Amino acid sequence: MKIQLSKSLLLPFTLGIAATSCQLFATEFDARSYAMGGVGVTTADYVTASFHNPAMAAKHDVRDDFGLLAPVIGLQVDDPDDLYHDASNVYDVVSNANLPADTATVEAALAKIAGDKSYAEAGFGLVASVPTRYYSTNVFLKGYADSFIFSDVIADDINNGIIDSKMSVYAISVVEFGMTFARKFDTRYGGIHIGMSPKYNMISTYNYSQTVNEFDPDKYKDGVSSDKKGFNIDLGMEVGLQHGLSVGAAVKNLIPQKVDLKPMNDSSASYNLNPVVTTGLSWSSDYVTLAIDVDLNETKRYENIKSLSGVRDDFDDTQMLKIGGEIGFPSAMQLRAGYMNDLQGNKKQAFTAGIGFSPFKVFHFDVGVSYAGSNIFGVVAQTMVWF
C-alpha cells in the first residue's frame, strides 16, 4: 500500500486556516503593554484602556484631547515541541512508506510527534478616544484568533495497513465591537477611576481533523466551522495613591460564554470565554514607570477535547504574573522591558522588550517583542495619533 500525502509546513497552513475559515486572524495586543511584560491594569493610557482596564480611559491630563490608535497588530508563535519541523519529517516517512511492510518504520516516526502541540495567535485593534473633564468615551474594534494544532497519535496504531492516528487543527476567532465609558471621582486622598466596556462579539470556530495519511493542507476547506454572536462586558477601577502609586483591578468577559467546535472524524472540543480578574500595582514618575499585574484566576480556553490520545482539558489554562517597566521621555522616546510567568505552569516564562517613539507627544510608534525559548516568540507594533 503506497500512501500519497502532501508535504507542507504546518505553520503557514495553521495561519491560513485562522484567516480564511474563521474570517479573521487576530488577537488582542498592545505594543507598549506587550513590551512591558503585559502589564496594563494601572499603566494603560486613556486610548489603550479598552484593552486592559476600562477605568483608565478617565485617567488623563486636562490637556489631552482626541486620540486614535490605528492600528495595533501582533503575532505570537508557541511551538515548544517543534511540531512544525517534526511533522514535516513524519510526512516524508509516511508518504514514502509501503504498508503493511513498513509498519515499524511508520510507527517509529509517529512516536516522535506523539503528544506534541503547537499554538499560533494573532490580533489587531482600533480605538478612537474622546476624553473629557468628567466622562471619557472610547469606541473600539478588536479581535484575536487562537489556533491550536496537535498530533493525535496512539501507540501500536497501524493494523492491516490502516492508520488511525490523526493531525488536528482547532481555531477560533473572536471579534469585539464596543464602547468604553469611564469617570473620575476626586477624593481628598486622590482620584478614583471607574469604567466599563459593553461589547458585542462575534465568535467563529474551525475544526480540521484528519488521519495522518489523509491530512492535506491543500484541503483545509474540508474542515467544519460554526459561528456564534453575543454580548459581554468588561469592568474596571483604579485608585491613584500618593507618591506616584496606583492600584487597580479589571474583570474581562464578565458574562461566561462557551462555543462548541463542530466535530470532525470523531474529534471535537469547546472554547470558553470566562471571567478573568486581574489586579495591578504600579509606581510612576515623570520618566519612569514600574508595574506588576497578576491574574487572580485561571484563563480557560479549549476544553472537552475529544481525541484518540486523551488531551487534558487544562493543558492550555494560564494564570499570568506580569512585571514590567518603562524609562524615557514622554515627548521623545521610551525603552521598555518585562517578564511574564504562568502560575499554572503550562506556558514557559517569557522576557519582553520594546521601544516607543513619540515626537512632541503627537505621534506614537511602538514595537514590542517577546522570547521564551526556541520557537516561542512574538512581535507587536502599533501607531497612535493625538489631536
Q: Each residue of 174-221: pLDDT tens digit?
A: 999 999 999 999 887 778 999 999 999 999 999 999 988 888 777 778
pLDDT greater than 70 at residue 236: yes
Q: Tell me, what's the pLDDT at 253? A: 96
Q: Span 286-303, mean pLDDT?
A: 95
Identify the residue with better confidence: 311 or 189.
311
* CB-CB contact of 250 with 236 (8 Å): yes
* CB-CB contact of 49 with 126 (8 Å): no
324 strand-pairing partners: 291, 338
Q: Span 134-162, mean pLDDT?
A: 88
- How remote is the C-alpha of 64 from its chain's centroid? 30
pLDDT greater than 70 at residue 20: no
pLDDT > 70 fraction of the chain, expressed in percent and rounded: 92
Identify the residue with better confidence: 159 or 246.
246
165 vs 229: CA distance, rounded Å: 34
* Sign, Cα dihedral of 9, 318, 173, 126: negative
Bridge-based pairing of strands 363-371 and 350-357 is antiparallel
Q: Tell me, what's the pLDDT at 357? A: 97
11 vs 224: CA distance, rounded Å: 19
Q: Tell me, what's the pLDDT at 28? A: 62
pLDDT greater than 90 at residue 384: yes
Tracing cell 470523531 back to the chain, one arrives at 266
Q: Which residues contact 381 (CB under 8 A, 6 or more apart)?
A: 31, 72, 73, 74, 365, 366, 367, 368
Q: Residue 101: pLDDT band by 50, 70, 90 thresholds? A: confident
- What single letter denotes the amino acid at residue 212? V
pLDDT greater than 50 at residue 10: no
Cα–Cα–Cα angle for 349, 354, 360, rounded to 5 degrees = 150
Q: Which residues contact 62 (CB under 8 A, 6 or more apart)?
A: 133
Strands (E), the chain: 67-78, 117-131, 135-152, 166-187, 190-211, 224-240, 245-252, 257-260, 268-273, 276-284, 288-295, 302-306, 320-328, 333-342, 350-357, 363-371, 376-386
Q: Is the bond into 256 cis (omega within 30 degrees of 0)?
A: no
pLDDT greater than 70 at residue 305: yes
* CB-CB contact of 101 with 136 (8 Å): no
Q: Tell me, what's the pLDDT at 320? A: 95
Q: Span 133-162, mean pLDDT?
A: 88
pLDDT greater than 60 at residue 9: no
- CB-CB neighbours of 68 under 10 Å: 15
pLDDT greater than 90 at residue 158: no
Q: Tell me, what's the pLDDT at 332? A: 95
Q: Span 21-31, mean pLDDT?
A: 54
Q: Which domains does the chain have, with CATH numbers?
A: 10-386 (2.40.160.60)
The Cα-based distances of 35 to 118, 324, 325, 355 in angstroms read: 23, 8, 9, 8
pTM for the predicted model, two decimal places = 0.90
pLDDT greater than 90 at residue 247: yes
Q: Span 343-350, mean pLDDT?
A: 93
Computed over its alpha carbons, how large is the radius of gyration of the chain? 23
Instruction: Give me the count of residues in the chain.
Output: 387
Highest mean pLDDT: which range of 94-98, 119-123, 317-321:
317-321
Q: Which residues contact 132 (CB under 8 A, 6 or more apart)?
A: none
Burial class (CB in 10 A: 0-12, 13-18, 19+), 364: buried
Tracing cell 508563535 back to the chain, one arrives at 77
Q: Tell me, what's the pLDDT at 387? A: 78
Q: Nearest-CA neighbor of 334 among 288, 282, 381?
A: 288
The whole-chain average pLDDT of the chain stands at: 88
pLDDT greater than 90 at residue 99: no
Provide φ and ψ at 303, rounded to 5°: -145, 175
The Cα-based distances of 370 to 30, 280, 355 in angstroms read: 13, 21, 12
